[in-house]
C-alpha cells in the first residue's frame, strides 16, 4: 500500500524477481520538477577509516539467492529508520521512499537525507518515482541526471531499485492508461540507469488487475484514442475485464529487472486491518514454498486515514508493545535483513 502524500487506488512469465511490497492482506507494497545543477553525485562523502569500503552488488545480484528481503514503507515524519530497526530487532533490508520526477533540488536534498539514514540503519532503497507532470517530462537528460545521483548513492553503500510510475494500469494518476508513452518513458529511464548506475535496478509495478480497467477515474483512456485501441487487447471495441490488464504496459525484459505489484486487503470488518491474521499467512512456510520468486516484502508502517474505508487504519506493527512483540516473534527464518555493520562510502 502506498503513500507519499496521495494514493488512490501475474503474469508468471514476466517475473524476474517478484516483490510483494506488503500491508495487510495479500499485499503491497510504499522523497521528488527540474534543477540538476548541484547533482548529488558531486557531493563528497565523509570517510570513516575504521570501516570497510562500501561494495554494492551489481543489479543482477540484488535479489537474494534464497528467501525474501524484508523492508518497510515508513512514515518518516513519525519515526526514524533507526527507531524502527531498534523496535524490529533487525535493520530492514529495504526502505521505501517516494519522490516526484524529474527531481528538484529540494527532492535531491530529501533523498540524500534518506540515503544517510538507510546507510546507517538499513541496506537498500526502493524509490518510487511519480511523474506528476506527465510522461513527457521523462527525457534523456532527466534520466541521465537521475542515474548520476543513483551512482552516487551506490557509492555510499546504498543499492537503489527504481519503481517508476507505479499502478500505470489504474485510472487515477497523470501517467495512467497511456501504454505507448509509458513504455517509452520506462525504457528511457532504464537505459540510463543500466548504463550509469550498476548498483541500481528497475521495477515494473502495476496494480492488481481486479476491477480493471477501473472505469471512472480521471485519467482513464477514452474511446477513439490510440491509448484506448492499445488497451483493447481482444479487439472487441471496448476495454473491460476481458482485456489484458498488464501486457500493453510491459516495457520488455531488457528494461525490467524486478516485477512488483500493489494489492490491497482491508479485512472483513471494523476495525480494519486484521494485522495478525495477515502476517501469519504471509510468514507461513507454505507462502515461501508456493512463491519461491517472492524476493521482497515491504511492510506499510503507517497510521493514517484511508478514503476507501472512510476511517483511520493503524497498519503499524512496532508502535504498540503487544503488537510489536507478537510481530517480531512471528518473523520467519526465510527473511533477509540489512547488514549488521555499516561501510565506508567511496569518494
- Backbone phi, then psi, for 20, in 5-degree steps? -110, 75
Domain boundaries, the chain: 20-33+64-336
What is the percentage of the chain residues whose pLDDT exceeds 70? Answer: 82
Site of grid cell 536534498:
109
What pTM did the predictor assign? 0.84
Q: Would you state the pLDDT for residue 26?
A: 31
Note the pLDDT of residue 313: 83
CATH architecture of the domain covering 20-33+64-336: Alpha-Beta Barrel (3.20)
**More confident: 274 or 258:** 258
Indicate the pLDDT class of residue 272, thresholds 50, 70 and 90: low
CA dihedral 326, 330, 335, 338 (to 10 degrees): 30
Higher-confidence position of 150 and 267: 150
Name the pLDDT band for 102 (thresholds 50, 70, 90).
Answer: very high
Residue 273 has pLDDT above 60, yes or no: no
| Residue 130 Cα distances to 168, 242, 284, angstroms | 10, 28, 33
Query: Does residue 211 have a pLDDT over 80?
Result: yes
> What is the average pLDDT across 145-161?
97
Average pLDDT (329-345) is: 94
Report the percent of the chain where pLDDT is more than 90. 72
Confidence of residue 72 (pLDDT cuts 50, 70, 90): very high
Which pLDDT tens digit goes with each residue over 76-100?
999 999 999 999 999 999 999 999 9
Amino acid at each position: 500500500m502506498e503513500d507519499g502524500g496521495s494514493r488512490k487506488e501475474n503474469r508468471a512469465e514476466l517475473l524476474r524477481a517478484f516483490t510483494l511490497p506488503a500491508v495487510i492482506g495479500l499485499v503491497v507494497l510504499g522523497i521528488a520538477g527540474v534543477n540538476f545543477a548541484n547533482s548529488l553525485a558531486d557531493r563528497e562523502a565523509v570517510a570513516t577509516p575504521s570501516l570497510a569500503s562500501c561494495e554494492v552488488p551489481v543489479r543482477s545480484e540484488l535479489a537474494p539467492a534464497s528467501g525474501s528481503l524484508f523492508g518497510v514503507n515508513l512514515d518518516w515524519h513519525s519515526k526514524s529508520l533507526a527507531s524502527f530497526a531498534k523496535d524490529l530487532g533487525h535493520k530492514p533490508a529495504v526502505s521505501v521512499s517516494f519522490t516526484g520526477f524529474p527531481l528538484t533540488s529540494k527532492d535531491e536534498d530529501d533523498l540524500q537525507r534518506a540515503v544517510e539514514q538507510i546507510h546507517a540503519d538499513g541496506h537498500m532503497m526502493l524509490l518510487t518515482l511519480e511523474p506528476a507532470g506527465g510522461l513527457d517530462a521523462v527525457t534523456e537528460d532527466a534520466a541521465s541526471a537521475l542515474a548520476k545521483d543513483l551512482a552516487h548513492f551506490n557509492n555510499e553503500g546504498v543499492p537503489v531499485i527504481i519503481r517508476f510510475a507505479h499502478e500505470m494500469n489504474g485510472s487515477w494518476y497523470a501517467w495512467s492508461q497511456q501504454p505507448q508513452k509509458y513504455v517509452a518513458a520506462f525504457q528511457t529511464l532504464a537505459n540510463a540507469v543500466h548504463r550509469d548506475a550498476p548498483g541500481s535496478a528497475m521495477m515494473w509495478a502495476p496494480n492488481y488487475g481486479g476491477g480493471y480497467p477501473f472505469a471512472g477515474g480521471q485519467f482513464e483512456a477514452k474511446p477513439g484514442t490510440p491509448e484506448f485501441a492499445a488497451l483493447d487487447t481482444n479487439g472487441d471495441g471496448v476495454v473491460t475485464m476481458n482485456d489484458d490488464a498488464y501486457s500493453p504496459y510491459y516495457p520488455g525484459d531488457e528494461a525490467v529487472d524486478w516485477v512488483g505489484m500493489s494489492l490491497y486487503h482491508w479485512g472483513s470488518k471494523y476495525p480494519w486491518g486484521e494485522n495478525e491474521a495477515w502476517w501469519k499467512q504471509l510468514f507461513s512456510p507454505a507462502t515461501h514454498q508456493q512463491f519461491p520468486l517472492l524476493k521482497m516484502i515491504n511492510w506499510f508502517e503507517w497510521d493514517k486515514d484511508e478514503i476507501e474505508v472512510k476511517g483511520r487504519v493503524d497498519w503499524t506493527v512496532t508502535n504498540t508493545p503487544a503488537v510489536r512483540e507478537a510481530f517480531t516473534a512471528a518473523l520467519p527464518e526465510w527473511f533477509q535483513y540489512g547488514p549488521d555493520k555499516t561501510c565506508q562510502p567511496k569518494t
